[in-house]
Structure 1
Amino acid sequence: MQKVLVIAYYWPPAGGPGVQRWLKFVKYLPDFGVQPLVYVPENPNYPIVDTALLNEIPTQVEVLKHPIKEPYGWAALVSKKKTKSISSGLIKEMNPSFLERALLWIRGNFFIPDARKLWIKPSIHFLARTIAEEGIQTIITTGPPHSLHLIGLGLKQRYNVQWIADFRDPWTTIGYHKQLRLTRWAEKKHKKLEKQVLVTADKIVVTSQTTKTEFEAITPKPIKVITNGYDEQLQAVPLDDTFTISHIGSLLTGRNPLGLWKALKELVEQDSAFAKALQIQLAGVVGDEVWQSITMFGLDSFVERLGYLSHDRVVEVQQKSQVLLLLEIDSEETKGIIPGKLFEYLNAKRPILAIGPKGWEAGEMVDSSQAGSFVDPKEVEAIKDVLLEWFNQYQKGNLFCQSVGIEKYHRRALTESLVKFI
């Protein structure tokens, strides 16, 4: 059986979407003749923890660990709350404090490509023996954090191995780069490292066609689109009695769906039955500016704050909801962002209301799979029309979703595609 070394930062007990991709790949790789060894930090600073995911680590998988030094631990001595927020990517977009601006500037200009850079050299040294003793011929790095690709770069320069760089998100074109207050020198450094990784890696995996097209302009190396996916075999559960519209995951200022709030406000005012049945469920971190908008539109009494949920509970909420909400920032640079939750939404087989920029890959996937409706954020009347149609079906007890062609997004099928690429 071929051995593959997977180098990852997010691993159980880490929570959130970053951990799911390789936890599931590792689960199915042995089915296709590949034995994975997983290398992760011994003492990581995970902003979100979900201990239930520890039970999903396959027993036959060997997990290697090595200590990591992270500056977030030092910065927490100044402000633990703000440091955790920045560590998790939950950066205020309106009126950040002086301390937040300072921490972002330090993060962006002193820790390139990211705050896990201190793990690069120790990891290269630590993994040298593993590569020799285990006969490793293929290594896979997954980022962000993109520091892990620099571990792959160092190993590739020293050993005769195949290196595959997996990009769960883009590097220099990701939206939050603008918030890091990068100097020109730092921007050039990021671009240089990105190009070095892309032209040195033997093969590259991305999660969207948009990112593939972007990278093809930088490197001639083979690039494969392998999206995220779903895994759970779901049992039928009763739907919510109320007309629940549920959003899973962080909902910060950039994704604040003002058009949706306006549409809901008008529907509530125009239709007493709609107002009586409506319940908006928000699971995950919700930004202050979003709460302000909800209050401004008079929707407070319709909102249930679920907070952070374990992955098992997320799956349950998705299945029981009447409508699932998928949101993206309305900008050119987010068109290739395909949230991991989309695939679990598809698996839940509940109608998806996708609100995002024109040409958004995720929204087009919702349309093509007949899993819901994709609407422009500014088209308030179109949002109202969709919700009113679904509400009428809900009242009749026949609000269902018969999505088509989603089997290709099952984690096992995606793993088969990965193995062929390896």
Structure 2
Amino acid sequence: FFIPDARIGWLPHAVSLGQHIIQTERIDCLYSSSPPYTAALIARTLKRKTHLPWIAGFRDPWTGFLSTPVRYGIAKKIDAHLERSVYAECDRLEVAWLGIAKDFQKKYPDIDATKLLHIENGFDEADIPAVKFERNAKFTLCYTGSMYGKRSPERFLDAVRSLVRQGKVDPAKIELKFIGRFGSNIMPLFEEPTLKAAIVVKPYMPHSESVLELLRSDVLLLVVDDSSDSAEIVPGKVYEYIGTQRPILALAPEGAIAALIRETQSGTVANFRSQSEIEQAFLKYYERFWAGETLWEGNAEAIKKYTRREAAKKLATLVHKLVEIHPPTFHDTHQ
């Protein structure tokens, strides 16, 4: 039972160390990134002590989000009070996806919404080596990440299995790689006889190796959680997928991810509840691969703005503006 999260024990030491750093390094602006939400409370305390401008960054919403604890009674009220105080006291609220901004405005319509700024997660070009691989002997599709609960490959596997039974796909000519952590409800799905020989399951691996697995593949599989919140969520992995310049087969609802993939022309979106759409998308790439056609058709200019370099420029510009508005005169860290 920790509010807002299990990192709350960091707060006293982090504030003390933060005061020392601000004083010795002559810091002009504060930036926090959450979750963990304790990071925002640390920054809030430092702002109160120093009066420095503060940008509160959020990768996910706070209360009521699908990955945050369900709270009741006094615990729920305390958590909401902390959330509100952070939103109200920060100078700017930077969000990684627009759904966070919508969540903020819905919960707290009385707090000034002009402080909101959307800066996408983006991908780091340095994480994606410029390497070339031999053409795969089989049409190779890859998924990296975790799967559990409402995130499942079941509909995708059903679609591919259907194509095999229709005689449109030869299971000996495909390889389906699943790399990461998979729940006990997921592993049996990989054992069904029709596709078992085509499926390769690998455990979690270092990020650099995972990126190489993506680059060795012909198509990347993206599976969005079957949840009402999914339409607004854009995980950081989506940008990394785009950065590899491998076409994405996305099983997703209409929403932020679908719009991003269409804007960047980085793949095909199939409704995750429509087996026929999934079949069509898979078959398109399968047939084009065996016809020797180019699979990647991404829009380089559209993709460029989603690099971490561009995101850093936006953040740096914001910092400079805030420092101009709130020029530091002294850093009082002893209040």
Q: Pick closer, same or farther for the CA change 1:395–1:332 going to 2, 3 Å.
A: same
Per the normalisation by structure 2, the TM-score is 0.87
Q: Where do residues 43-58 of structure 1 align in structure 2 (5 Å cutoff)?
A: none
Q: Pick closer, same or farther for the CA change 1:393–1:387 going to 2, 3 Å.
A: same
- TM superposition shift of 1:152: 0.6
> What CA distance in whole angstroms lies between the structure 2 residues aligned with 1:240 and 1:418?
40
1:165 is aligned with what amino acid?
A
> What CA distance in whole angstroms lies between the structure 2 residues aligned with 1:112 and 1:349?
41
Q: Pick closer, same or farther for the CA change 1:297–1:417 going to 2, 3 Å.
A: farther
> What CA distance in whole angstroms lies between the structure 2 residues aligned with 1:299 and 1:147?
45
2:53 is aligned with what amino acid?
Q
Do the aligned residues in 1 keep the contact of 2:138 with 2:175 (CA within 8 Å)?
Answer: yes
Residue 299 of structure 2 corresponds to residue 408 of structure 1: no
Quote the residue 1:291 is aligned against.
Answer: 187
Do the aligned residues in 1 keep the contact of 2:175 with 2:200 (CA within 8 Å)?
Answer: yes
> What CA distance in whole angstroms lies between the structure 2 residues aligned with 1:290 and 1:209?
30
> What CA distance in whole angstroms lies between the structure 1 residues aligned with 2:48 and 2:277?
54
Which moved further from structure 2: 237-246 or 139-148? Answer: 237-246
> What CA distance in whole angstroms lies between the structure 1 residues aligned with 2:48 and 2:155?
51
Q: Pick closer, same or farther for the CA change 1:127–1:293 going to 2, 3 Å.
A: same
Q: Pick closer, same or farther for the CA change 1:271–1:159 going to 2, 3 Å.
A: same
1:346 match: secondary structure: helix
C-alpha offsets along residues 88-137 of structure 1, whole Å, 9 cap, x if unaligned?
A: xxxxxxxxxxxxxxxxxxxxxx2111111000122112221221122112
Q: Which residue of 158, 171, 177 maps to 2:49?
A: 158
Residue 65 of structure 2 corresponds to residue 170 of structure 1: no
Do the aligned residues in 1 keep the contact of 2:163 with 2:169 (CA within 8 Å)?
Answer: no
Tell me, which stretches of 5 or more residues in structure 2 are unaligned? 320-335
Q: Which residue of 256, 260, 280 maps to 1:385?
A: 280
Which moved further from structure 2: 144-153 or 333-342? Answer: 333-342
Tell me, which stretches of 5 or more residues in structure 1 are unaligned? 1-109
- TM superposition shift of 1:208: 0.8
> What CA distance in whole angstroms lies between the structure 2 residues aligned with 1:372 and 1:173?
32
Q: Pick closer, same or farther for the CA change 1:272–1:376 going to 2, 3 Å.
A: closer
1:323 is aligned with what amino acid?
V
Do the aligned residues in 2 keep the contact of 1:349 with 1:401 (CA within 8 Å)?
Answer: yes
> What CA distance in whole angstroms lies between the structure 1 residues aligned with 2:142 and 2:48?
47
- TM superposition shift of 1:391: 0.6
Which moved further from structure 2: 227-236 or 113-122? Answer: 227-236
1:161 match: secondary structure: coil
C-alpha offsets along residues 129-152 of structure 1, whole Å, 9 cap, x if unaligned?
A: 221122112111111111110101
Quote the residue 1:280 is aligned against.
Answer: 176
Q: Which residue of 201, 204, 213 maps to 2:102?
A: 213
Quote the residue 1:124 is aligned against.
Answer: 15
Quote the residue 2:269 is aligned against.
Answer: 374
Quote the residue 2:165 is aligned against.
Answer: 269
> What CA distance in whole angstroms lies between the structure 1 residues aligned with 2:193 and 2:263?
32
Residue 120 of structure 2 corresponds to residue 227 of structure 1: yes
- TM superposition shift of 1:192: 1.6
Do the aligned residues in 2 keep the contact of 1:246 with 1:318 (CA within 8 Å)?
Answer: yes
2:307 is aligned with what amino acid?
H
C-alpha offsets along residues 212-240 of structure 1, whole Å, 9 cap, x if unaligned?
A: 12223423151111111222364241243
Q: Where do residues 12-411 of structure 1 align in structure 2 (5 Å cutoff)?
A: 110-177=1-68, 180-217=69-106, 218=108, 219-220=111-112, 222-230=115-123, 231-232=125-126, 234-238=129-133, 239-271=135-167, 273-296=169-192, 298-359=194-255, 361-404=256-299, 405-411=302-308
Higher relative contact order (CA 8 A, sep 6+): 2
Do the aligned residues in 2 keep the contact of 1:250 with 1:286 (CA within 8 Å)?
Answer: yes
2:30 match: secondary structure: strand
Do the aligned residues in 2 keep the contact of 1:143 with 1:149 (CA within 8 Å)?
Answer: yes
How many residues of Structure 1 are paired with residues of Structure 2 in the alignment? 310
Do the aligned residues in 2 keep the contact of 1:175 with 1:334 (CA within 8 Å)?
Answer: no
> What CA distance in whole angstroms lies between the structure 2 residues aligned with 1:310 and 1:273?
32
> What CA distance in whole angstroms lies between the structure 2 residues aligned with 1:237 and 1:115?
43
Q: Cα RMSD between the aligned structures?
A: 1.8
> What CA distance in whole angstroms lies between the structure 1 residues aligned with 2:202 and 2:304?
30
Query: Kindly, what percent of the aligned residue pairs are identical?
Result: 27
Which moved further from structure 2: 384-393 or 267-276? Answer: 267-276
Larger radius of gyration: 2
C-alpha offsets along residues 260-302 of structure 1, whole Å, 9 cap, x if unaligned?
A: 1210111122237531112111111011111123335743332
2:146 match: secondary structure: coil
> What CA distance in whole angstroms lies between the structure 2 residues aligned with 1:184 and 1:329?
29
> What CA distance in whole angstroms lies between the structure 1 residues aligned with 2:297 and 2:131?
14
- TM superposition shift of 1:181: 4.7
Quote the residue 1:61 is aligned against.
Answer: none
Q: Pick closer, same or farther for the CA change 1:298–1:289 going to 2, 3 Å.
A: farther
- TM superposition shift of 1:188: 2.3
Per the normalisation by structure 1, the TM-score is 0.70
Do the aligned residues in 1 keep the contact of 2:252 with 2:270 (CA within 8 Å)?
Answer: yes
> What CA distance in whole angstroms lies between the structure 2 residues aligned with 1:173 and 1:363?
24
Q: Pick closer, same or farther for the CA change 1:420–1:158 going to 2, 3 Å.
A: same
> What CA distance in whole angstroms lies between the structure 1 residues aligned with 2:165 and 2:200?
20
> What CA distance in whole angstroms lies between the structure 2 residues aligned with 1:200 and 1:357?
35
> What CA distance in whole angstroms lies between the structure 2 residues aligned with 1:136 and 1:205?
19
